[in-house]
Chain A
Amino acid sequence: MSDARPVLSGRDIHFTYGRGADTLHVLKGASIDLFPGGLTAVMGPSGSGKSTLLHVLGLLARPSSGAVLIDGRDPWKTSEAKRSRMRNQNLGFVFQFHHLLEEFTVHENVAMPCMISGKSRSQSMDIAGGLLREVGIESRGNHFPSEISGGERQRAALARALAMEPAVVLADEPTGNLDDEATGVVENLMLDLARSRNQAFLIATHSRELAQRCGRLLILDRGVLREG
């Protein structure tokens, strides 16, 4: 593993919320390397900064100091338009609350990253169709998110994260909001997909079970990451 090049790295990341006296120093020098095909779990109590870490690694928030590197390049040294392109091409997100757009069908939601990338609607829908099959909800494609179950929504969110075949998938408590049965289905699906594709998965979770099924476990503790 160590001889491969990391697709995403965090170097000594600090992150502070707020300004002046009222600041909260959440990340205090977290470092991480994600390699192609690697499955990494991040654990830590609520409020320890897992979401913050994923936002920083996902280029949604700028680290107060330290650097995020994608393929060795620093996204914060370029324009927001180029950064948007990196998010689109290199990163996929799965959020705790699916975050599908309610006004669009499940199929359209999955196609959205492709449409954002500039692909035509029909081409994007074709790609999305394949992914819906892969996550086993092709029969729900024409439904709206409010019309399907929580487990199905999270599967759709997973399909959406994979649509652009990103090098890195960041999943923030992807099963945190599901019942046990749906949790099992989504976890299995996610691990299967991760193994069959050469993508790096970083999963923030409270589930020790899930963490143990990942190749690697990191603990976010007092603002730094350590091997668990």
Chain B
Amino acid sequence: MNLWLVGALSVRQVVSRSHSGFVRFVGVLSVVGIAIGVAALIILRSFMDGFTGAIRHSLEAVNPAVHVYAPGGGALGPSDYGLVRELALGIPGTTGVEAVLERPAVASGAVGTVAGVMVRGMSGSGDGAVLGIRLAQSLGVTMGDTVRLASTAGVSVSGMGRVLVDTIMPMVVVRVTDFGIDEYNRSLVTTSIESARSLFGDETGISSMGVGLTAETDPVNASITLDSLLRESYVEGGWPAYMTAIPFMSFHTNLFQALGLESLAMTIVLGLITVVALLNLSSALTMIALEHRWDMGVLRAMGATPRMVFVTSITRGLSIGAVGVVIGALAAWASVLVVNNYFPIRLDGSVYWVESLAGKFSAETALVASAITLLVCLLVSVAPAVSALSDSPSEALRYE
């Protein structure tokens, strides 16, 4: 089979100048429909990926990759700390191990302000408080100001029903930061573990430990390794309980599952655009086949095999599909670029966790969307191709 001939036949017949206006209209409509369908899918996935990625990135930026804690929420003792540290540092890709003491507290800043906060003391952090930007705003403080923290450890209720707070600890705000996640920005205070311990009146308290990993290290694998090492050590040491290591992201499995589900649902809805476009493609192909029925009869008379007729027919559909897919993918790429650079999307952080949304165009997503669309174009082309195949050349030649 002469591939040039097959290619030229199908492409030239698709764009033939002899087509009636209506056939051309339906043809253009199917290209446009496929382009819109593909573009919509890629744009949707780009922004869903961008959104999920932003949340993931912010969570990872503030939290250690792997958490080690006692099942049931029990406190870790100093010997646990030593053991976990030793085991974790033995795993390739570990950048550091921190002890964390994290508990709720009450903060007040400027006169009359008060907020419930989560104080996170970390062994790697310096003294003084780092506040999320929203929290700093609501407390009316900035860098260099002092916030007063009260822990529930020092709260008691007197016989008269008055709330007494013994432990009020002033702390200098050393930094106001954007943690990336709205919830953290509204309520997180980070400080040294020593400050947290004195605030909570717990000299050796460790609520969990964090293991930092290099970017290339997979948190899931690292936590599985660490978890089994911990299990061995504790069981060997005759302990009934042991520490558990889990990747931080698994605390948010539900969130990411929900996001994935939403993305899937929207993909299906937007896929309907493509379905409609493909119906259009089907009628365009039928009309083009009808307009070139004669030509196919002539080709058969010249000795074209049924296979060549079939392939030519299929290639018509594929070439329409390919043009639509390429236009759609390029349009999606350009749209994401333009939105990111000129029309940044702002979100309500209290609803969406993150406050800005940037699309993340992925070539892989674009390729998958394009490949699937082309595959379906191919399937849609089969019916007209089969009918071209079974058309009698003699009848085709008499067709006016």
Contact = CB atoms under 8 A, between A and B. Distances in A.
B303 A103 contact: no
B298 A99 contact: yes
A121 B4 contact: yes
Given A80-B306, A99-B397, A116 B299 contact: yes
B2 A81 contact: no
Nearest to B16: A103
Contacts of B302: 87-88, 93, 112-113, 116, 160
A85 B304 CA distance: 8
Interface stretch (A6-14, A53-61, A186-194, A213-221): A53-61
B392 interface: yes
A95 B302 CA distance: 12
A115 B397 contact: no
Given A102-B18, A104-B8, A121-B4, A93 B306 contact: no
Nearest to B302: A113
Interface in A75-89: 80-81, 84-89
A142 interface: no
A64 to B, nearest CB: 13
A5 interface: no
A99 B294 contact: yes
B307 A116 contact: no
Contact of A87 (B12, B294, B300, B307): B300
Interface string A37-52: 0000000000000010
Chain B interface residue bracket vs A: 20 to 34
Contacts of B300: 60, 84, 87
B18 A116 contact: no
A86 B305 CA distance: 11
Contact of B303 (A102, A104, A113): A113
B18 A60 contact: no
Interface in A95-147: 95, 99, 101-104, 108, 112-113, 115-121, 124
Interface in B3-31: 4-5, 8-9, 12-13, 16, 18
A99 B300 CA distance: 12
A84 B305 contact: yes
A119 B307 CA distance: 17
B295 interface: yes
A103 B1 CA distance: 19
Contacts of B298: 93, 95, 99, 101
A44 B207 CA distance: 105
A110 B320 CA distance: 27
A81 B305 contact: yes
A95 B299 CA distance: 13
Given A115-B5, A118-B2, A60 B394 contact: yes
B332 to A, nearest CB: 32
A84 B304 contact: yes
B257 to A, nearest CB: 53
B261 interface: no
Given A60-B300, A121-B2, A84 B394 contact: no
Q: Which of B2, B18, B297, B302 has the most CB of A within 10 A?
A: B302
Nearest to B12: A103
Contacts of B8: 103-104, 108
Interface in A137-181: 160, 164
Contacts of B397: 55, 60, 95, 99
A136 B307 CA distance: 35
Given A55-B397, A60-B393, A61-B392, A117 B303 contact: yes
Contacts of B294: 99
Can you list the 7 inter-chain pairs with the closest CB atoms, starting with the nearest? Answer: A88-B303, A103-B12, A61-B394, A115-B2, A87-B303, A60-B394, A84-B305
Interface of A: 51, 55, 58, 60-61, 80-81, 84-89, 91, 93, 95, 99, 101-104, 108, 112-113, 115-121, 124, 160, 164
Given A102-B18, A116-B308, 10 more contacts: A84-B305, A85-B303, A93-B301, A99-B397, A101-B9, A101-B295, A113-B302, A115-B4, A116-B5, A121-B2
Interface of B: 1-2, 4-5, 8-9, 12-13, 16, 18, 294-295, 297-308, 392-394, 397-398
10 contacts: A55-B397, A60-B394, A86-B303, A88-B304, A95-B298, A99-B298, A101-B299, A112-B299, A116-B304, A121-B5
